[in-house]
Structure 1
Amino acid sequence: MYREATVGVVIPAYNEEGFVGDVIREMPDYVDRIYVIDDQSTDGTWDEILDAARADHEERTGSPPPIADAHDRQRDDGEPSDQPRADGGPEALMNRAVVHDSIGRVLPIQHRENMGAGGAIKTGYLAALEEGVTATATVDADGQMDLSQLPRLLDPIVEGAADYAKGNRLLDREYRSAMPRFRFVGNSMLTFLTKVASGYWKTMDPQNGYTVISNDALEAVDVENLYEYYGYCNDLLVKLNVNEMRVADVGMPAVYGDEESSIEYSTYIPNVSMMLLRDFLWRLRTKHLVTDFHPLALFYLFGAGVAGVGIVAALWTLVNAIVRSGSVLVSTTASFLVFALGVTLLLFAMVFDMAESEHLERQYRQ
């Protein structure tokens, strides 16, 4: 336990042989439960998970895990079975994964099919919800996350200051300098898009997968319907905002080693961008039109519409001028004024949005 709170850690693993074992073995002693999800790896990841779990148990207890602890199902002849337990846990969890019996504090889970990083996180969250863990962290299996920083993410949760805490590699210059430039540029763009979509305007580095979430927040966000691609962390922020959950942005350094990213940017960028647009519209409708009313929703919608009309009018004027070789000055000026009005309305919407969620955000520097 950590400060009288039970702690679970979700580790999504896909082809992380050579990394995931170290992450399991180096997990702090105060962590009560480790949910390791093998997302249909094609290398030796699964065997490494089991070996590391046994080593972790032996190091903590001084003895190897008993057979009954690893396999509690019985065959007809009464001998222990080596088959995974598939008859426990919530239905949503069992439909997507095979939950093996615990090896000490490690709960090994195998996906029935590859579901991506977000899908593995979702599986771990479902398991944590089933066991009622107070605070559930997410830690990548590639060793990029400094486990000594975990208490800084746990503190806002156990102190009741936040419902969700996440790492932020952009908060301080010394942290930003450790990030490769191409990652920094892409991260900055996604940060802005996520600010607009989620309403958390002070929160940065939304792609950071080093997080801790409270049990109350997990129950509020409808885990079963979370996005399952790499944009799961962006999607989660939107759902947290709609449920008025407090978010803590915790500054911490980035760690990069020999691991290789499995992200395919040709599909990642358009998929996450479309997801953020859908989430943005859903947030406006759910939080500011249906559940309650706030004029920022109308400013956003009318602003985008007016700006769009201005752009279309400008393009039509340009095409018309090329075809007819006429003057475009007056029409262009009118189109620009319409566009400027739309942008002004959007800026007003953003100002309202920032003020509306300001009480839900906190930042923790080193």
Structure 2
Amino acid sequence: MTPAPTTPAAVETRPPEADAALPAWRSGIAVVMPCYRVVRHILPLLARIGPEVDRIYCVDDACPDGSGDHIAAGATDPRVQLLCHPVNQGVGGAVMTGYARAVQDGARVIVKLDGDGQMDPGMLGVLVAPILSGEADYTKGNRFWDLRRIGDMPLLRRLGNLGLGFMAKASTGYWDVYDPTNGYTALHADVAARLPFELVAKRYFFESDLLFRLNIERAVVIDVPMDARYGDETSHLSLPRAVGEFSLGHARNLLKRIIYNYFLRDLTLASIELVLGISLLAFGAGFGGWHWWHSAQAGVATPVGTIMIATVAVVSGLQLLLAFLGHDIAAMPRRPLHKVLAHRAATRRG
């Protein structure tokens, strides 16, 4: 297995000699649980995690309510390991710390489960099944699958997901997945070990940023239907700040993904379609707009030939961009990366 990338230092409150008492790996399934102001929910949630899970990594992200102390005092499950950040890293930073520790300890599949009780531990088996069967590298919940249950989601969250959905598809390259901010996820540990944990966004954008980095690795991602569950938990997400952060993040990742996949890693017909499409569209719009403005100032009609040149350029540019989009959709990863890695490792050993 590839060594795990480095993450910000975390202090483990469990004494080192207790490692010998940890349950042995059986299923290889580990749960990573970021903990920030979840004192009311965390212990009942830990009690609901089934025996199919071998290890539970609770990451106290410098919680001001003392979530870590609460877990240390009240959790009796021997599977629980407590990791504490001395400084708040954000939910993404907490998850990356848990990922790194799970990979280091030898996990096979890592499930991210929030500590606020929104996610049902009972569907964990459904979430990891496509990974264990070799169909996917990464699975995530989709709360929009059952149209009858969408009404259970608060209106503001529905609107936010609808607005960010297309941007996430474009920036991550996973055109067949939705609900990009859903945090109920599972990841094959061999794929996790290849991720640059230190570069993944630390705050609420981290789910979308993780999808972008999985696409760069050519990992297979699929949606798993799940119901929306909302109780008395408190959201710490600021909507105005999130809109700006997510929009800039998606734009940056879209540009990176196109450069990586179509100009650095490979050069295909789609690369040419993209360059020609943007060039023709820009030329047509600029040429046509300039002549229209010039004619309007002079009070004369724009020549038909000038109109046709601009129109043909714009239409041709749009057609080429649509052709590129079709190629991008068809180029989504289809072969699970963890199988490729396993085959490569077996070949090297042989």
For the Cα contact (< 8 Å) 2:219–2:333, is it kept in 1?
A: no
> 1:289 Cα shift?
2.3
For the Cα contact (< 8 Å) 1:247–1:360, is it kept in 2?
A: no
Secondary structure of the corresponding residue to residue 213 of structure 1: strand
Q: Give structure 1 stretches of 5+ with no counterpart.
A: 58-103, 362-366
User: What's 2:47 paired with?
Assistant: 25
Which among 342, 351, 357 is matched to residue 317 of structure 2? 342
For the Cα contact (< 8 Å) 2:27–2:53, is it kept in 1?
A: no
Per mean C-alpha deviation after superposition, the further-off stretch among 273-282 and 120-129 is: 273-282
> 1:326 Cα shift?
6.0
Change (3 A) 1:317 1:146: farther
**TM-score (norm. length: structure 1):** 0.76
**TM-score (norm. length: structure 2):** 0.80
Change (3 A) 1:15 1:242: same
Is 2:199 the counterpart of 1:225?
yes
For the Cα contact (< 8 Å) 2:57–2:83, is it kept in 1?
A: yes
Which among 97, 116, 138 is matched to residue 164 of structure 1? 138
Change (3 A) 1:28 1:323: farther
- Structure-2 separation of matches of 1:132 and 1:243: 21
Q: Superposed, which structure 2 residues align to 1:292-311 within 5 Å?
A: 292-311=266-285
Secondary structure of the corresponding residue to residue 107 of structure 1: strand
Is 2:32 the counterpart of 1:5?
no
User: What's 1:53 paired with?
Assistant: 75
Secondary structure of the corresponding residue to residue 334 of structure 2: helix
Q: Superposed, which structure 2 residues align to 1:104-183 within 5 Å?
A: 104-183=78-157
- Structure-1 separation of matches of 2:292 and 2:238: 38
> 1:2 Cα shift?
12
User: What's 2:246 paired with?
Assistant: 272
User: What's 1:197 paired with?
Assistant: 171
User: What's 2:19 paired with?
Assistant: none
> 1:308 Cα shift?
4.4
Is 2:335 the counterpart of 1:356?
no
Change (3 A) 1:3 1:126: closer
Which among 237, 240, 251 is matched to residue 225 of structure 2? 251
> 1:328 Cα shift?
6.6
Change (3 A) 1:29 1:347: same
- Structure-2 separation of matches of 1:202 and 1:194: 11
Change (3 A) 1:143 1:313: farther
Q: Give structure 2 stretches of 5+ with no counterpart.
A: 1-22, 337-350
Which among 188, 197, 208 is matched to residue 214 of structure 1? 188
What amino acid does structure 2 have at the position aligned with 1:6? Answer: G
- Structure-2 separation of matches of 1:2 and 1:179: 39
Calculate percent identity across the aligned residue pairs.
31
Higher relative contact order (CA 8 A, sep 6+): 2
What amino acid does structure 2 have at the position aligned with 1:142? Answer: D
Change (3 A) 1:285 1:324: same
Secondary structure of the corresponding residue to residue 51 of structure 2: coil
- Structure-2 separation of matches of 1:329 and 1:119: 59
> 1:295 Cα shift?
2.6
User: After superposition, what is the alpha-carbon deviation per residue over 1:55-103, rounded to whole angstroms, capped at 9, x for unaligned?
Assistant: xx2xxxxxxxxxxxxxxxxxxxxxxxxxxxxxxxxxxxxxxxxxxxxxx
